[in-house]
Each structure stands twice: as C-alpha cells, then as structure tokens.
C-alpha cells in the first residue's frame, strides 16, 4: 500500500506540475467536431477522433497540427492552441485514439494507427476553406508537439511529404534506447554533444518512468494519469515565470462524451486502453528487465528513428536539459540522422524537460515565430543552428537566472577537457534483492526536488558498500560542461554486472549535486578472464562547475529508477584510464545583456577588487591546496609536533593514516598528547611542525575542509533551558549553513535519544547529554567524526549504548576517530588503534595486530588442568592461567604451533588456539604501568 501511495502521489504531483493554468486573454473562435478514421488499414471499422479547430482573425492561413502529450487529450494543449491562433495560425487539436473522448486503443504512435490518423487529419485540413493550400489536397501545415506528440510530428513528417515544418519538443528518437538505455553500447559523442548508440537488447530497463507511463495508459480514459504532459514542458529560459497551457478549450463540446473502451485483459493483467501487442511488450519488459527480439522489433517500428532518413521538412528540435525520460542524446541522434540524409535541422536545448517543466512565454513565442517564418517566409528565423541554456544562481525573487549561449551552426564544434580522477580499486556489492537501492531522483519531480535545498539531499543517495567513488582536483575556473562526458572503467568479477555511473558536482563543503539527476546504466559482460574494460558515455548535461568545485565519479550497483539484478554479487571497480573527458561547446551569450557603460564600470570595480584580493587569494590557495592522491583518504597526519614555551612538547613527530570506513581508537595514558592532537586536527591550535590533511586538504584554522568534520572535543556547552532539538538547531544556525543540510532527524536517529530530544536539557542524565553531544557532532552527517572521550561519566549500560551509536554511524560508510581511556570498550568498538605515549607514536594498526604483540596465547582444551601442567613444563613459557576450558599462557615468542604440539603430546585435545585478545595487556606492555 505504501508503494501504491507513492505512485499515486507522484502521478498526482506530475499532473499538478504540468497542468497549471495561467490567466489567458479572451478565447479565440473554435469549432468542435468528431471525425471518423479507419480503425486499421483496409478495415471497414471506424475510430472516432475528438477534434477542435482554432481560427485566427484572418484566413486563409497556414495550419498547425497540435498533438498532445501521453496521458493527455486535446484540452491539454488548448492554451497553446490559442496562443498560436492569435499569432495567425489555423490550429487543429485532437485527442489521440485511446485518450479523452476519442475511441480506439493506444498503439504508441503506430504507423498503421496514430500516424495514419494524423495523415487523415491533414486530409481534412485540406478541405477547410480557412487553411492555405499548396495544391489540391495539400495544406500548408506544420506540426508542433511535445514528447508523445513530438514523436508523432517526426513520424508523420517522415511518411507524409505534405508536412512543411515540424517542431518536436522533448521527444524520443528510439524508444528502445529511451526506455532501456545501455550506455556501454553508446558511441563516443562528436563535437561534444551526446550521441545515441546502436540499440542493444541488453539495455537496462527504466522501470520507474515506464511504470508511470503505463499507469497513465491504464487509468480510465481522460482521468489524468500523466495527462499533465502538456506540449513543450520545461521551465522558461528567459525572464518569464513558468506557465502551462490551460486545461480548458476555447469552446464547448460538440457532442456528449463517447462511451469508454473496455480495458483489455492479457494473462490476468489489466492493460487499460493499450493494444494487446503493446500490453504484451510491456509485460515482457517489466518482468524480465530486458528487451526480447520481438519487443525490439516493435519498439523500433514505433520509433522516429525508423523514418528520420526520409524527413525533408525544416526541423526545429527543442530538447530539455532536465529530462531523465528522454535525454539530450535522443534529440541529438534525431538531428544527426536528419542531417546525414540531407535535411535541415536546428536544435535548442532549454532548461526544462519532463523533469523541469515546459517552455515559458518567450520561448513559446519564438517557436511560433519560427513556424511562421517556415510556413510563410515572413519575418526572420529566430534561432541559430544550435543554442543551449545555462542555468545559474537564484535571483532575489527565487527564480533561477538563465543565459542562452549561441553555438552557431549544427553540429557545433566542441572542445574536450580532460580531468584526472583519483581513487583506488574498490569493491562494491549488489545486495540480495537489489535492496536498498541507490536514489538518483524522482521521475517527473526532479526539478521540484533539486530546486529545494530541503529535499535535494534526501533524493540523491549512494548506499555505502554499493558505490565506488573517484574524484578530481578542484577546477581553477568555471567549467561549463555541455554534452556527454566519457570515462573508461575496469570491472572485475564474474558473470554480468549492471552498474550505474554518475558524475557529481562536488562543492568544497562536501555537498554534492547530480546535474539534471542524470545517470548512465551500464550492463557489462565479464569474460572468463574475470576483468572487463568499458567506455562509459554519461548522459548529456549542461552544467557550470564553479571554481573550487571538483567532479566526483560514482559507480553504484543499484538505482531505484531501474530494474536491477536481484542476485547478490560483488565487483571490483577501478579506473582503466584515470581521465574523464568533459565536453565544452563554446559560443556567445545572447539576450539579457548589460549596457556597455555599465559593463565598463563593473569591469573597473572588479579589477580593483581583484587587485586587492590577489595576495590573499594566493595565500589561501597555497594553504588549502589539496593533494589529489589523498582526496579519498579521511585523515593523514605527517610529522606532527606541538611544542609550548618552557620546553614542554605535547606531541612529537606523530604520523599515522586513517582509511575510509575505519573506527580508529586513539589510546594513551593521561598526558600522552591525545587531546592536543585532536585539537590540532580541528584547527583549534596550530602545530609547531608537520601537517594534518583531511581528504587531501591541509588543516589550518578556518580551512573549508573542516566543514566535512564533525567533532566533540571541547565539550558541548548546551543551554539547559532549551530542548535537545532546540540546542542542535541553535548550534547548526551558528554554522551559517541551511537547516536542510543538517540531516537533524538522521543524526538523532543514530544517536538514539528518542522522544527525549523534546525535553529541556537540564532534565537530561549525563549519558543523555553525551548522546546529544554525539548527535551534535553528527549534524550534517560529516564524513569524518572526531570524538574526545565520549564515554566520560557514563555507566556500563550507557557505555554499551554509546558503542552501538558509534558503530551505527560507521556502518553508514563514514570514518570515526575516538580517543578513550576505556581499553575494553575500544577493543570492542574500534577496528584500528593508534597508541601514543609521551607525545610519540608507539604502535598503530588493527586491533587484532596490536593485541597480538602482547605475546600471550589462549587455548581451548578438553582437560584444562593437564594442559596447564604441560605448558608449565615447556621452557620459556610463563604466566600460565586456567579460566574454565581456556588456558592462557605467555609464550615469550614461541610459535603457537609448538605449544599446540606440546599439548597434543601430553594427550590434551586442543579445540582452538589464538592470541589472547586483551588490549589492556598489550597497552601496558607498550606504555608501561604508569597511569598518569
């Protein structure tokens, strides 16, 4: 029921996003009619189409056929029809078969059904006196449609030469590639723009989008579903606010609603208004996650790619940069195919799409101007060969700033910039059942989520253990990615791996943004040798990466939007080539320019400011220079020394390294230098010599990388009259970061305070205060957590609970450094230990290795007393002690195998032998018996 509720919520939300009405001028004259068309080629049966004709002030005029998006009907495009009619076009809208009040079944733009219907409508337009004609039966007509309607425009133009111009918006080239992409099969993009690769039957099924679309076709006709998909969805590229076509038409219905078609049944599965052929294809895709040869043949027949080589009409392709359904690669593939066949193509990328909304008024007006120019020869062409939009920061009004870049002729000439990735080979696991799965976004709602800092961090999740990360150094100046980046990976394992590759924009504070929520699914067949190399072409994006930001390549085994294998498996992933090739398409910004005088004044001011800041910037860059080889290492301490006046040296020449996922215990007697080390780590005091690097960045007071560390070193300082939650919010507000980035609920859940967070802190026990302090350190879910004596003042049950808190946090894939004098707790909590004495390092390594240095061994035997006697008789063995069935002994360097042999000779059966796991003994041997 929860899953069903989420689907309903998503569908309803998409409807709201894509059918928002705006105030419209007075309606233009309309004429409604029901037109009968053949149900199938050569059939006497009829399908009835519900149509509306919108009439301009002056006729005869060129016509525009305006099909709707999937799940909608003629009312979905009423607002756009009125805009075009006011521009001077005769506009014909209609409900495609299976939608609205039209009869018939949905064939997904089948050439024999929906495309043939559109040709019949062109026939009908040729009979209308309001429509300008090129000849008998040949109207002057263009086709403008989005998504489902855009594909119809391409299909019709490829089969009917009477079509004079087409404007497909956010549509697909190849349904097989659109619904089952396989980035591994994609060809390298030319000129920096994405290119669709050859179809692969082993593509990865885009189950979330496909499920939403299928549900829109199985809902009662005209009930909505994804009917919100009005033409030209996407957000405005200029200064206008977003708007959508009105839901109502310009006139009343000409007839009562027609009876609905009964739902089709196939194998007990309700198929709604789909044809049986479409239903079988979806059932096969949804159950197997792969494309069978039969389904592949069907999808290719239904795709515009089948006819793009025959399109001669001028074509303007408008594709959304925020579109996880049909990405930029689909539009680019169409453009290349038409161009290769000698057709004329112009291409526009704008900031909307299936995830981002429809074009705003200015772009819609330019689309009308383009159609008018193509159909009448009047006015001018408002577009170049290729242009794209770049979304920048938010204005004071809250709307994003957008600039349009004119790249000249299509295909544009691009440059490729190579950035070096760092990161060792990493093992990633596909969990049983493919759950939990990574989250890259919410189909249809990604723009709403990414536009809200409160939600964006919750819907871009890479579960620990399932993802490998590789990171570049920060860029020195803005990098404008335009198109598809490429990277070459090495994958080791057995069988077939399904992987998901994404390229994040990594902020200096550690926050990440997944541009346009785009990911590349890759199906990798691993040969008998156990290793495969694959070139991954990532989806096309337009993303300005600001100076100081880095790129982070992430490879995961799961994604909730795709069908993933359910069989558990593990793979090793590394970089076959450390370079990621990023496309850059140069051009000039158009529109929205500043006056020349203003620009000169701004330039002078900026130059003066730059001169003043230059030295400080150089110093900051030097002090915060990152070591790319250490970008993935949480902590490296090298030659650290802290000396005070008077000859006191608290820390001397200390060096150690902490790897991702470790829980490191910092041990030492009082005065060993533990707290001083942690205070230097947090930038609270400055070392006399040596350095500390966190994720490759050198620690200095106020270093930006400190935002990636959570700490509890100097005490919590909670206000007793406030609740736990209020204290945490107050602390986070002091950081200056948005509260949405605090992950408050997650930190409190890990700390396990329950409802006590709502009580005043003065009512807390010492254990609760400590847990609240840990929650405070966890705010923002830092990648490195540093705690100084977190169990001070806690009783044994509270210490046990604190151990669970730290282990739960480490289980999220992050790293914990904790100092403590409770050796038994460190032994049970930590994976690694650093032992300090008098400011120096005396031992470092895994807990088991440190314990083993004590020289003691434990034997589980059947006759403990006989075993003790036998060991006491072995030269060099001392400290023999019996504890139940266990016998402990100090072997003084003797191999345990020799001790086992002595026990066997004495007739004692040895069930188990190993080091005596007592960290306390090893610690005392390392630092001596002093405790102060």
Transcribe 818-835 into DSSP letters: EE-S-HHHHHHH-SEEEE
Q: What is the mean pLDDT of the chain?
A: 80
Q: How far apart are CA 886 and CA 809, in angstroms?
A: 35
Range with lowest mean pLDDT among 596-600, 809-813, 905-909:
596-600
Same fold, 2-18+27-250+261-406 and 629-849: yes
Q: Which two tokens stand for residue 49?
A: 């189409």
Q: What is the pLDDT of residue 386?
A: 87
- CB-count exposure of residue 658 (10 Å: 0-12, 13-18, 19+): buried
Percent of the chain with pLDDT over 70: 79
pLDDT higher than threshold 90 for residue 196: no
Q: Which two tokens stand for residue 191?
A: 């000129």
pLDDT higher than threshold 80 for residue 58: yes
Q: Give pLDDT tens digits for 827-839.
A: 778 888 888 888 8
8 A C-beta contact, residue 559 and residue 519: yes
Q: How far apart are CA 296 and CA 479, in angstroms?
A: 39
Q: Give pLDDT tens digits for 799-813.
A: 777 788 787 888 777
Q: How far apart are CA 439 and CA 516, in angstroms?
A: 13
pLDDT band for 90, please (50, 70, 90 cuts).
very high
Distances (CA, A) of 711 to 260, 786, 902: 64, 5, 51
Q: Region 307-336: what's the mean pLDDT?
A: 94
pLDDT band for 1, please (50, 70, 90 cuts).
very low
Domain 415-590 grouped into CATH 2.60.120.260? yes
Give me the CATH topology for the region 2-18+27-250+261-406: Rossmann fold (3.40.50)
Q: Give pLDDT tens digits for 519-557.
A: 999 999 999 999 999 999 999 999 999 889 999 999 999
Q: What is the pLDDT of residue 852?
A: 57
Q: Region 503-518: what's the mean pLDDT?
A: 89
CATH number of 855-915: 3.30.70.100
pLDDT higher than threshold 90 for residue 671: no
Distance of CA 708 to the CA centre of its chain: 20
Q: Give pLDDT tens digits for 169-188.
A: 999 999 988 888 873 333 33
Q: Which two tokens stand for residue 794?
A: 């806690």
Q: What are the φ/ψ torsions at residue 742 (nearest 5 degrees)?
A: -75, -25
Q: Region 360-376: what's the mean pLDDT?
A: 91
Q: What is the pLDDT of residue 56?
A: 94
Q: How far apart are CA 554 and CA 461, in angstroms?
A: 11
pLDDT band for 797, please (50, 70, 90 cuts).
confident
Q: Region 685-700: what's the mean pLDDT?
A: 91
Q: How far apart are CA 795 and CA 128, in angstroms?
A: 90
Q: Give pLDDT tens digits for 333-356.
A: 999 999 999 999 999 999 889 988
Distances (CA, A) of 494 to 467, 573, 706: 18, 13, 41
pLDDT higher than threshold 70 for residue 855: no
Please name the residue that has the structure tokens 């705006």: 22
Q: Region 609-635: what's the mean pLDDT?
A: 63
Q: What is the pLDDT of residue 199?
A: 39
8 A C-beta contact, residue 624 and residue 704: yes
* Total residue count of the chain as it appears in this document: 932
Please name the residue that has the structure tokens 């590394």: 574
Distance of CA 299 to the CA centre of its chain: 28
Q: What is the pLDDT of residue 734?
A: 74
pLDDT higher than threshold 60 for residue 244: no
Nearest to 329 by CA among 205, 444, 188, 533: 188
Q: Measured in Å, how far apart are the chain's first and last C-alpha atoms?
A: 61
Nearest to 116 by CA among 131, 129, 97, 138: 97
Domain ranges, ordered by start, for the chain? 2-18+27-250+261-406, 415-590, 596-621, 629-849, 855-915
Distances (CA, A) of 20 to 1, 93, 243, 316: 28, 19, 7, 26
pLDDT higher than threshold 60 for residue 901: yes
Give me the CATH topology for the region 629-849: Rossmann fold (3.40.50)
pLDDT higher than threshold 90 for residue 31: yes
Q: How far apart are CA 559 and CA 412, in angstroms?
A: 33
* One-character DSSP codes across 464-479: TTSEEEEEEPPPSS-E
Distances (CA, A) of 694 to 637, 659, 680, 688, 707: 9, 11, 12, 18, 11
């Amino acid at each position: 029921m929860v899953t069903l509720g989420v689907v309903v919520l998503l569908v309803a939300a998409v409807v709201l996003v894509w059918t928002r009405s705006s105030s419209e001028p007075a309606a233009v004259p309309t004429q409604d009619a029901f037109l009968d068309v053949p149900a199938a080629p050569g059939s006497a049966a009829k399908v009835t189409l519900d149509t509306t004709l919108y009439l301009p002030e002056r006729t005869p005029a060129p016509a525009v056929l305006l099909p709707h998006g999937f799940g909608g009907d003629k009312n979905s495009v009423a607002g756009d029809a009125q805009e075009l009619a006011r521009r001077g076009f005769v506009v014909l809208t209609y409900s495609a078969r299976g939608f609205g009040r039209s009869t018939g079944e949905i064939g997904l733009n089948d050439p024999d059904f929906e495309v043939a219907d559109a040709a019949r409508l062109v026939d009908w337009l040729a009979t209308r006196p309001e429509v300008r004609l090129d000849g008998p039966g040949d109207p002057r007509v263009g086709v403008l449609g989005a998504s489902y309607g855009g594909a119809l425009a391409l299909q019709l133009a490829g089969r009917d030469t009477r079509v004079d111009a087409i404007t497909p918006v956010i549509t697909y080239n190849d349904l097989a590639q659109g619904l089952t992409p396989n980035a591994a099969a994609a060809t390298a993009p030319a000129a920096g723009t994405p290119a669709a690769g050859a179809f692969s039957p082993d593509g990865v099924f885009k189950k979330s989008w496909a499920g939403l679309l299928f549900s829109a076709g199985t809902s009662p006709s005209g009930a909505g579903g994804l009917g919100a998909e009005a033409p030209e969805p996407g957000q405005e590229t200029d200064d206008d606010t977003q708007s959508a076509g009105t839901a109502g038409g310009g006139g009343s219905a000409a007839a009562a609603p027609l009876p609905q078609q009964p739902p089709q049944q196939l194998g007990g599965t309700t198929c709604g208004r789909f044809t049986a052929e479409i239903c079988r294809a979806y059932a096969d895709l949804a159950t197997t996650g792969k494309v069978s040869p039969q389904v592949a043949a069907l999808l290719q027949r239904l795709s515009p790619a089948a006819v793009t080589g025959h399109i001669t009409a001028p074509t303007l392709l408008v594709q959304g940069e925020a579109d996880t359904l049909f990405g930029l690669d689909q539009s680019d593939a169409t453009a290349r195919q038409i161009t290769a066949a000698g057709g004329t193509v112009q291409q526009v990328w704008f900031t909307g799409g299936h995830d981002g909304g429809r074009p705003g008024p200015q772009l819609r007006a330019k689309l009308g101007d383009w159609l008018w120019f193509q159909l009448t020869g009047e006015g001018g062409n408002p577009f170049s060969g290729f242009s794209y939009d770049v979304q920048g920061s938010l204005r004071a009004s809250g709307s994003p700033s957008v600039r349009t870049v004119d790249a000249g002729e299509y295909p544009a000439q691009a440059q490729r910039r190579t950035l070096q990735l760092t990161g060792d080979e990493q093992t990633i696991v596909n969990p049983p059942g493919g759950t939990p799965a990574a989250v890259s976004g919410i189909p249809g709602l990604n723009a709403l989520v990414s536009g809200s800092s409160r939600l964006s961090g919750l819907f871009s999740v890479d579960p620990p253990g399932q993802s490998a990360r590789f990171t570049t150094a920060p860029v020195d100046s803005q990098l404008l990615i335009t198109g598809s980046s490429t990277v070459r990976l090495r994958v080791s394992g057995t069988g077939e791996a399904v992987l998901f590759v994404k390229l994040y924009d990594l902020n200096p504070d550690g926050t990440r943004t997944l541009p346009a929520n785009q990911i590349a699914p890759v199906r990798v067949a691993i040969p008998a040798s156990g290793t495969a190399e694959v070139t991954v072409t990532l989806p096309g994006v337009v993303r300005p990466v600001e100076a100081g930001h880095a790129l982070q390549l992430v490879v995961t085994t799961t994604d909730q939007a795709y069908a993933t294998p359910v069989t558990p498996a593990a793979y090793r992933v590394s970089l076959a080539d450390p370079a990621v090739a990023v496309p850059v398409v140069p051009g000039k910004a158009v529109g929205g320019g500043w006056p020349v005088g203003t620009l000169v004044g701004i330039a002078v001011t900026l130059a003066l400011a730059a001169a003043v800041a230059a030295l400080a910037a150089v110093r900051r860059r030097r002090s915060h220079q990152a070591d790319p080889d250490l970008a993935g290492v949480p902590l490296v301490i090298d030659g650290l020394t802290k000396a005070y006046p008077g000859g006191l040296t608290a820390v001397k020449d200390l060096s150690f390294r902490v790897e991702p996922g470790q829980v490191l215990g910092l041990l030492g007697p009082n005065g060993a230098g533990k707290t001083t080390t942690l205070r230097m780590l947090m930038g609270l005091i400055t070392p006399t010599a040596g350095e500390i690097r966190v994720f490759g960045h050198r620690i200095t007071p106020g270093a930006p990388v400190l935002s990636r560390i959570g700490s509890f070193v100097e005490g919590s300082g909670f206000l007793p009259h406030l609740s736990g939650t209020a204290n945490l919010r107050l602390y986070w507000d002091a950081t200056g970061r948005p509260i949405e980035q605090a992950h408050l609920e997650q930190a409190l859940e890990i700390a396990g305070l329950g409802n006590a967070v709502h009580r005043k802190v003065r009512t807390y026990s010492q254990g609760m205060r400590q847990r609240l302090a840990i929650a405070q350190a966890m705010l923002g879910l830092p990648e490195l957590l540093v705690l100084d004596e977190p169990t001070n003042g806690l009783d044994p049950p509270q210490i046990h609970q604190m151990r669970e808190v730290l282990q739960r946090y480490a289980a999220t894939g992050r790293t914990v450094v904790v100092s403590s004098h409770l050796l038994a707790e460190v032994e049970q909590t930590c994976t690694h230990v650093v032992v300090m004495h008098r400011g120096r390092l005396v031992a470092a390594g895994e807990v088991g290795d440190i314990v083993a240095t004590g020289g003691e061994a434990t034997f589980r035997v059947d006759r403990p007393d006989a075993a003790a006697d036998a060991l006491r008789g072995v030269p060099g063995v001392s400290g023999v002690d019996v504890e139940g069935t266990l016998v402990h002994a100090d072997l003084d360097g003797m191999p345990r195998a020799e001790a086992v042999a002595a026990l066997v000779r004495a007739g004692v059966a040895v069930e188990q032998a190993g080091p005596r796991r007592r960290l306390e003994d090893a610690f005392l041997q390392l630092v001596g018996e002093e405790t102060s």
